[in-house]
Amino acid sequence: MIHRREFITLFGGAAAAWPLAAGAQQQSAKLPTIGVLGVSTPSNWTLWVAAFVQRLRELGWIEGRTIAIEYRWAEGRSERFTEIAAEFVRLKVDVILTVGAAAAAVAQVTSTIPIVFAIAVDPVGTGLVGSLSRPGGNVTGLSTQTTELASKRIEILREAFPDLRRLAIIANVGYPGSVLEIAEVQAVARKVGLDIDVLEIRRAEDVVPAFGTRKSGAQALYVTTRW
């Protein structure tokens, strides 16, 4: 399992294995294609896409000349993940780039096209990969190991608010990584004597109602990682 700083190098190295187009016949052939599945909107991914394209260019891979990039945007709708993945399979892309929230859905659609997730909360715990050292299958990427940070985050909250007794946690329960993080936060909270109120959401539209219907008297809010 690679670390964040190695991601661009890994992806560039994978791209370097693709043959360069040479001659009129080769240039008319299909370029090596990257399918990018963005879980939100193009505007939210602007900086990520710019950095990704820039690094590819630095490695000699130029969009429209030596590679093609197909962008698709789920716009926060998880039900779109498998639909977009199926489209990438039909397009016969050479690799799919996404994040952990969508990687599992993509892996259900194809077991042959390489899948690289830019970030995931707990790829082992969610079953996305077999292990950090040997991911196995056609999936690899970066782990934030967020669940392991829950204890530290609660420690910081208690330092900032010494009288903290009740904590609310808001999480997308439709994402396995968030469910694991909830469990870790609850385990840590029990050890330090905190009461926990879980605000469950599945879509962006659920956030406001979650706050409006739960009057828990929480003194602080823990937001799980969305990926």
Indicate if 68 and 171 belong to the same structural domain: no
Which residue range forms the structural domain that includes residue 196? 147-223
Indicate if 138 and 62 belong to the same structural domain: yes
Q: Is 24's pLDDT higher than 50?
A: no
Query: pLDDT tens for residues 177-209?
Result: 788 888 888 888 888 899 988 988 887 788 888
Sorted by sequence, the CB contacts under 8 Å of residue 48 that are 6+ apart come out as 118
Q: How many domains does the chain have?
A: 2
What is the structure's pLDDT at 213?
59
> Checking phi first, is residue 92 left (phi over 0); if not, alpha (psi -120 to 50) or beta?
left
Q: Is 28's pLDDT higher than 60?
A: no
Indicate if 21 and 128 belong to the same structural domain: yes
Indicate if 93 and 189 belong to the same structural domain: no
Query: pLDDT tens for residues 85-140?
Result: 999 999 999 999 998 778 889 999 999 999 998 877 677 777 777 777 777 789 88
Indicate if 82 and 154 belong to the same structural domain: no
Instruction: Please identify, among 144, 177, 204, the residue that sits at the C-terminal boundary of a domain.
Output: 144
What is the structure's pLDDT at 22?
42
CATH code of the domain containing 32: 3.40.50.2300
Indicate if 87 and 176 belong to the same structural domain: no
**What's the rounded mean pLDDT across residues 1-19?**
51
Give the predicted TM-score (pTM) of the model.
0.61
Indicate if 126 and 162 belong to the same structural domain: no
Indicate if 57 and 168 belong to the same structural domain: no
Query: pLDDT tens for residues 52-75?
Result: 999 999 999 999 999 999 999 999
Indicate if 123 and 158 belong to the same structural domain: no
Neighbours of 28 (CB within 10 A): 8
What is the structure's pLDDT at 6?
54
- Given the structure tokens 């001659």, which residue do they identify? 23
Q: Are the C-beta atoms of residues 184 and 213 closer than 8 Å to each other?
A: no
